[in-house]
Chain A
Amino acid sequence: DAGVTQSPTHLIKTRGQQVTLRCSPKSGHDTVSWYQQALGQGPQFIFQYYEEEERQRGNFPDRFSGHQFPNYSSELNVNALLLGDSALYLCASSYELVRTDTQYFGPGTRLTVL
């Protein structure tokens, strides 16, 4: 049983560019949450998707957007990249919107903005 998978593993972009990160949830999970983890910090909640809709959002600007597909996989899009967007982006999946306490994290995508 595959756990949460994310692609790509690493990514290098320049300021002003746009990026799309991808996540496939653990089998049987229908809820996907995205987190940003800056170096030396804990993860910060970006947003959560359930039934193809954004259900909750953390304190992130509109440059951060997402999507969930009918097969529950999800994308995170970041526009107009800033140097400060350099971080590890984690995807987590869970079963049912209310059970994020039992969410499983993927290994993350390391984004470097130059």
Chain B
Amino acid sequence: GQQLNQSPQSMFIQEGEDVSMNCTSSSIFNTWLWYKQEPGEGPVLLIALYKAGELTSNGRLTAQFGITRKDSFLNISASIPSDVGIYFCAGQGNDMRFGAGTRLTVKP
């Protein structure tokens, strides 16, 4: 089963709003990753984090690697309709573990 606890499970927001989602684990990871998956596609890497405390941005996306190495969050600012999709966190230790995903719906 899933090793990572990702929340929220789903979000319905208005275009222009900011979004925040997070992921926690009982295990320590060396790398945290955030992916986006759209229908009929495989996950696409958005942001990779390699160091505890690291804060990294990719356009309107910002992610942080928690100090304890057991958590991470992803923020999306000023959401647009094309942000719709499922966002997954993943932690990499000996192998890669994924959260169950946050399904984001953006209403124009």
Tell me how far the C-beta of B19 lies from the nearest C-beta in chain A, rounded to whole angstroms: 18
Main SS of chain B's interface residues? strand
Q: In the bound complex, do residue B92 and residue A41 qualify as a contact, i.e. CB atoms below 8 Å apart? A: no
Q: Kindly specify which of A14-22, A65-73, A76-84, A104-112 makes contact with the partner chain.
A: A104-112
Q: In the bound complex, do residue B42 and residue A107 qualify as a contact, i.e. CB atoms below 8 Å apart? A: yes
CB contacts (< 8 Å) of A101 on chain B: these are 31, 33, 48, 50, 92
Main SS of chain A's interface residues? mixed
CB contacts (< 8 Å) of B51 on chain A: these are none
Scan B25-63; emit 1 where CB is below 8 A from any A CB, else 0: 000000101000000111111001010000000000000
Of B43, B98, B100, which contacts A40 at CB under 8 A? B100
From 51 to 110 in chain A, residues with beta carbon under 8 angstroms from any chain B beta carbon are: 56, 58, 90, 92, 100-108
New contact pairs (6) apart from A42-B88, A45-B97, A101-B33, CB-CB < 8 Å: A33-B96, A42-B90, A42-B100, A45-B95, A105-B43, A105-B44
A56 to B97, CA, bound (A): 13
Q: In the bound complex, do residue A56 and residue B100 qualify as a contact, i.e. CB atoms below 8 Å apart? A: no
Whether B2 is near chain A, meaning CB under 8 Å from some CB there, is yes
Q: In the bound complex, do residue A42 and residue B41 qualify as a contact, i.e. CB atoms below 8 Å apart? A: no
Whether B82 is near chain A, meaning CB under 8 Å from some CB there, is no
CB contacts (< 8 Å) of A106 on chain B: these are 42
Chain A interface residue bracket vs B? 20 to 34
A56 to B43, CA, bound (A): 21
CB contacts (< 8 Å) of A43 on chain B: these are 43, 88, 98
Closest to A90 in B: B42
Of A58, A100, A102, A108, which contacts B42 at CB under 8 A? A108
CB contacts (< 8 Å) of B48 on chain A: these are 101-102
